[in-house]
């Protein structure tokens, strides 16, 4: 490493790779906790009103899909950083 000169482009790529990791990682934390909360509440709802399980499952899936989009933003940004900024 010592006799290798580091160019500005190398630094840009390195920062892009680290940024991609942070982007996808941190974005997943909040979405995962939110999805866990939704699903846990849906299960509790089935305890109170077992006859509503179809509606509860549908609403749970819809809510989780919307929550999931936030982490998909993180994934898209990470892929952009790897394949556009990192090349």
Partner 1 sequence: MTVLGAGIAMGFGAVGAGAGEGMTAAYAIKGMARQPKVHGELLRTMLLGQAVVESPSIFALMVALMMIFGGEKAATFAQAAAMLAAGMAVGFSAISSGIGTGLVSATACRSIARNPDVGGKVSGIMLLGQAVDTSPSIFGFIVALMLIIKPQEVDTLPRAAALLGAGIAMAVGTLGSGLSIGWIASRACKIAAYRPALTGILTRTMLLGGAIAETLGIFSFVVALLLMVSTT
Note the residues at the interface with partner 1 (CB under 8 A). 1, 4, 6, 10-11, 13-15, 17-18, 20-22, 24-26, 28-40, 42-44, 46-47, 50, 53, 56-57, 60-61, 64, 68, 71-72, 74-75, 78-79, 82, 86-87
Least Å from the CB of residue 4 to partner 1: 7
What is the smallest separation between the CB atom of 30 and partner 1, expressed in angstroms? 7
Radius of gyration of the chain (CA): 20
For 34, residues 6+ apart whose C-beta sits below 8 A from its C-beta are: 67
Smallest separation, CB 45 to partner 1 (Å): 10
CA 55 to chain centre: 26
Contact of 34 with 60, CB cutoff 8 Å: no
């Amino acid at each position: 490493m010592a006799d290798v000169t580091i160019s500005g482009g190398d630094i840009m790529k390195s920062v892009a790779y680290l940024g991609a990791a942070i982007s996808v990682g941190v974005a997943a934390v909040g979405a995962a906790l939110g999805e866990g909360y939704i699903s846990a509440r849906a299960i509790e709802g089935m305890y109170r009103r077992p006859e509503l399980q179809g509606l509860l499952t549908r609403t749970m899936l819809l809510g989780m899909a919307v929550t999931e989009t936030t982490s998909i933003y993180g994934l898209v940004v990470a892929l952009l950083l790897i394949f556009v900024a990192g090349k």
